[in-house]
Structure 1
Amino acid sequence: MMNGTDRKMEKASDKVFFSSYASVNIHENMVRDESRTQAYRKAIMQCSDLIKDKVVVDIGCGTGILSCFCAKAGAKRVYAIDASSIIEQAKLVVKENHLEGVVQLISGKAETVDLPEKADILVSEWMGHFLLFEGMLNSVVVARDRFLKKGGLILPSKCTLFVAPMDCKRMYDRRITFWSSTKKTYDLSMECMIPFAKKNLLNSVRREDIPSDTVMDPGQPFYDLDINTVTIEDLNRVEGSFQMTCDRTTNLTGIAVWFDAYFEAPSKDTVVLSTSPFSPRTHWNQAVLYREEGLPVQKGDVIKGSMTITPADRNERHLDVKLSYQVGDGQPEEKIYNTWQTPGPVEMY
């Protein structure tokens, strides 16, 4: 049961979340992301025989681009839901493409709006940084249970979180060691900033465009998410274990995390949207959990550990991430990271 303070915090966090999506910048960034947008388009269009003459619900429709794809794929009706004021622009996009006879824009939250009928298909681009940042999947789960017919199609249907060790000294130097360079550049010492920089940067989940050559393992899955069956209770504590092998002798300076999303449908090839550093860049980039200092590792060293992701106490749309791991027979380590100071979307161009 929520008390009054919890309700106020919930409303405040929702207000910040939805207002952030009222700006053109974030939508430009998403639409410019061809890996993301073409994956949705391909998945939707290859399911045109399943979508034809069916009812679709689009949760968090934004500019309405996915709703328009569904309409072009032959949907009888598309209910496009969004609580942000960007929905006014979505109405214009729908009208410009002469799809207003199919796409119906609904302003509000999936938790509170009503539909006149059940949907056959649910589509949503809900994935956030570190997959679960922003907590939009909760709304998709509610919409699934409220609006989708039993056995209905969900796009995407599954996601997997991956983890890999990194030798990311270049990025570490760019943000931390940088403060030792001002003496040479400006004849002004600022090394006193290093503890402050570490405190601000190394306790939070960092959003980075990771060079693939800094990753010391192809990536190991540690959590599989099935959107058809996941519950709100499941999302209150996401956890998994992993085992990685270092492919070189170097220093371990951080742990990288990314996700893949899978668009599965009966008798169709699975479309995969990957945010891996080995795949074409996306606006999600990757996440890095930095160490305080580099740890020497040898080629072949095995790193075993676990990760637990929970909604942050201060704001349920943010995350607390507990990382525990051990390199070989070395000392076990454990640290909690948060997304409070995680930077916003990295511009694609």
Structure 2
Amino acid sequence: NGSHDSCQVVMVLGAGRGPLVNATINAAEKAQCKVRIYAVEKNPNALYTLRFRMNYEWRELDVQLIEGDMRDLKTPEKADIFVSELLGSFGDNELSPECLDGAQPMLKDDGISIPCSYTSYVAPLQSLQIYNETKRSKDLTNKIGFSMETPYVVRLRNCQILGPPQPAFTFEHPKKELNQSNAREVCCSFKIQQDAVIHGIAGYFEATLYKDVILSTHPDRHSPQMVSWFPLVFPFEYPIHVHSGNHVTLHLWRNVSSRYVWYEWVLTEPRPTKIHNAAGHVYKIAL
């Protein structure tokens, strides 16, 4: 919304090999808006490509490369706009909340973030194929069972979703209170419409980029022709048989420590399972 004479400062957080930098350049040209772009990246392989593009493709443009972790940087000026693509198959499972919170001091008080919010969704899942393939897997320490306490990104085909997905965790950026924890917990109840077997939890997400621009993997409103993300599946160690009319209650936690983020999940109704991945003993994401 800046005037044609003002310069909008845009920080591309996690620039990768530069697609969002190019998208920002194209959007600025279309809007006839002057921009100064800071491409922020820490991955050495991606930095190699970014340096090449800086020297050749973007040489005549107002693009600057900042190397390092977005959570620990000092920049020459604050941004009007954050642009990032840090979303995982469950929305927050690739540490987008922690990364964007850490970068927020580089954003002006009236600045905006793209995306500005995202919500994950969960639903009980029936898929014997996924259950069997997961059960056959073993982790590197050869402990059978550990594979049932790790979430998987899966293109869901031979499966049935046993209820309308319900919202789980929501994150907004910029964050109003930076010291607020990103830990979350949710309890969802579903009424089963037919006899079935529950093998896990299907996870989706929906992100608001800006105003009414939305990306979604929610099965009822999936973004057309978008194949960038497949659902996340939280498996159960054993199948749970349910009957038509049964109520199914799921609990899911997003836990945060000083070093890790991890999920725990359990079914408590119609019969309880163990808490999967308790204390992150199988699967956790390093901060």
Instruction: Report TM bin, short chain.
Output: 0.7 to 0.9
Contact 1:68-1:99 within 8 A present in 2 as well: no
User: What letter is aligned with 2:188?
Assistant: F
Secondary structure at the residue paired with 1:336?
Answer: coil
Hey, what's the Cα distance between the residues in 2 that align with 1:141 and 1:322? 23
Q: 1:136 to 1:226 in 2, by over 3 A?
A: closer
Contact 2:265 2:275 (8 Å CA) reproduced:
yes
**Cα distance in 2, alignment partners of residues 301 and 234 from structure 1:** 37
Aligned partner of 1:293 among 212, 227, 238: 238
**1: CA distance, partners of 2:186 / 2:84:** 25
Output the amino acid matched with 1:138. Answer: E
Structure 1 residue 197 displacement after superposition: 6.9
Does residue 320 of structure 1 match 2:262? yes
- Deviation string, structure 1 residues 93-145 (Cα, Å, up to 9, x no partner): 3555446522211111223322222211111111235333343432211212x
Distance 1:271 1:198, change over 3 A: farther
1:282 aligns with 2:233: no
Q: Which residue of 1 aligns with 2:16?
A: 62
| Structure 1 equivalent of residue 200 of structure 2 | 254
Query: In the aligned structure 2, how far is the partner of 1:177 from the partner of 1:333?
Result: 20
| Aligned mates of 1:118, 1:303 — CA distance in 2 | 48
Report the equivalent of 1:93. Answer: 53
RMSD: 3.2
- 1:329-340 equivalence runs, <5 A: 330-337=270-277, 338=280
Contact 1:54 1:77 (8 Å CA) reproduced: yes
- Paired with 1:296 and 1:49, the residues of 2 have a C-alpha distance of 61
TM-score, L = length of structure 2:
0.81
Q: Which residue in 1 is equivalent to 2:64? A: 104
Give the residue type in structure 1 aligned to 2:113.
I
The CA distance in 2 between the partners of 1:198 and 1:155, in whole Å, is 41
Q: Would the aligned equivalents of 2:200 and 2:236 in 1 still touch at CA under 8 Å?
A: yes
Letter in 2 for 1:224: T
- 1:323–1:226 distance in 2 versus 1, CA, 3 Å: same
Please give the secondary structure, in 1, of the residue aligned with 2:52. helix
CA–CA distance in structure 2, aligned partners of residues 272 and 227 of structure 1: 15
Give the gaps of 5 or more residues in structure 2: 29-33
Aligned to 1:159: 118
Give the superposition deviation at 1:236. Answer: 4.4
| 2:177 corresponds to 1:223 | no
Superposed CA offset, 1:289-317 (max 9, x none):
2222221112343222331111367x52x
1:142 correspondence with 2:102: yes
Extract unaligned runs of 5+ from structure 1. Answer: 1-46, 180-195, 343-349
Label 1:276 to 1:288 Cα distance change in 2 as closer, same or farther (>3 A).
same
Q: CA deviation at 1:233?
A: 4.7
Map 1:1-349; keep pairs closer than 5 Å: 53-74=7-28, 75-85=34-44, 86-94=46-54, 96-98=56-58, 100-144=60-104, 146-176=105-135, 198-211=144-157, 213-229=159-175, 233-265=179-211, 270-276=212-218, 279=222, 282-311=227-256, 315-316=259-260, 319-327=261-269, 330-337=270-277, 338=280
CA contact (8 A) 1:80 1:103 kept: yes
* 1:257 to 1:312, Cα distance in 2 relative to 1, 3 A: farther
| 8 Å Cα contact 2:91-2:207 kept in structure 1 | no
Which residue identity does 1:297 align to in structure 2? V
Q: Distance in 2 between matches of 1:158 and 1:272?
A: 10
Query: Structure 1, residues 261-302: CA drift from partner, whole Å, max 9, x if none?
Result: 11123xxxx222123456356344222222222211123432
Greater fraction strand: 2
Which whole-Å CA distance do the structure 2 matches of 1:239 and 1:229 have between them? Answer: 19
Which structure has greater helix proportion? 1
Give the 3 Å change call, closer, same or farther, for CA 231–130 of structure 1 in structure 2. Answer: farther
Change (3 A) 1:173 1:83: same
* Equivalent pairs, count: 272
Deviation at 1:178, TM superposition (A): 9.4
Q: How far did residue 322 of structure 1 move?
A: 2.1
**Cα distance 1:334–1:176, how it changes in 2: closer, same or farther (>3 A)?**
closer
The 1:198/1:297 distance shift into structure 2, 3 A limit, reads: farther
Alpha carbons 2:200, 2:233 under 8 Å: kept = yes
